[in-house]
Structure formats: structure tokens, C-alpha cells
């Protein structure tokens, strides 16, 4: 495994949610989501985040070896959630996760999808 990219926070600790992640594996996770999760853990004693994370931001590409991942902010009940456009070997796949297309960010999602499927 060369990297883990987390689309949104949940109320479960990372090891429970994603399994043990070796220290040398980079984990990409939005800083604001991490801070929210750390605050939740402080008040609920549900767990903690023991792994360093690399901040992800809307439409800022992530390069992992020969793979490019572009995060796109989506409407979701968890603040600051992302879908990802993954590109490698002249192929693309859109990981949508469990976003909703009915909330206040629906126009952002529709615009991002349209712009990136026309390329």
C-alpha cells in the first residue's frame, strides 16, 4: 500500500474504521475534518488519531507515484467531505463516496463533474 486517502470523517477511530495503518504509509485527510474528529474524541473518549495526516483541499491534486487524485468538495452530512477523481495510465475513475446531490452544495458538484468529464 502506498497511501490512504480519507474522504470524510466518521465518529469511529481511524484504526477501527480503516484497520491498522503502518507508520510509513501516508494518510491524506482534510485538516479541518481531523480537528473536528479530535474534538469529538476529546469529549467522548471514543478513540484518538495516532497517525500523522497530510491535508487535502478542494481541487488540489495529490500525487502518489504515477497516480493523480483530485479531491472535490461534496455535500454530505459530515462537513468537508470529498469525492475523488483518480487518474492513471490515461484512464480516470470518479470515486463519489456517499455524497448527496440535494443539499446546498449540489451546484458545486454538478459543475465539477461536468468540467471534468468533458476533458
Give the C-alpha separation, 98 to 109, whole Å: 13
Give the C-alpha separation, 8 to 40, whole Å: 14
Instruction: Output the pLDDT for position 8.
Output: 62
| pTM score of the predicted model | 0.71
How crowded is residue 9: how many other Cβ atoms within 10 Å of its Cβ? Answer: 24
Instruction: Output the pLDDT for position 13.
Output: 53
Kindly state the cell numbers that stand for 109: 458538484
Place of cell 468538495: 73
Q: How do the domains of the chain map onto residue ranges?
A: 4-117
Instruction: Output the pLDDT for position 26.
Output: 84
The domain defined by 4-117 folds into Metallo-beta-lactamase; Chain A (3.60.15)
**pLDDT per position as a tens digit, 4-14:** 777 666 655 55
Amino acid at each position: 500500500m502506498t497511501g490512504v486517502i480519507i474522504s470524510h470523517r466518521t465518529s469511529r477511530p481511524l484504526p477501527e474504521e480503516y484497520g491498522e495503518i503502518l507508520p510509513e504509509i501516508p494518510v491524506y485527510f482534510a485538516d479541518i475534518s481531523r480537528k473536528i474528529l479530535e474534538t469529538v474524541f476529546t469529549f467522548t473518549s471514543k478513540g484518538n488519531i495516532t497517525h500523522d495526516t497530510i491535508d487535502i483541499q478542494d481541487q488540489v491534486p495529490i500525487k502518489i507515484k504515477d497516480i493523480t487524485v483530485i479531491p472535490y468538495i461534496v455535500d454530505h452530512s459530515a462537513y468537508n467531505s470529498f469525492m475523488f477523481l483518480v487518474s492513471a495510465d490515461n484512464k480516470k475513475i470518479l470515486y463519489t463516496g456517499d455524497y448527496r446531490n440535494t443539499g446546498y452544495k449540489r451546484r458545486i458538484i454538478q459543475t465539477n463533474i461536468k468540467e471534468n468529464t468533458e476533458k
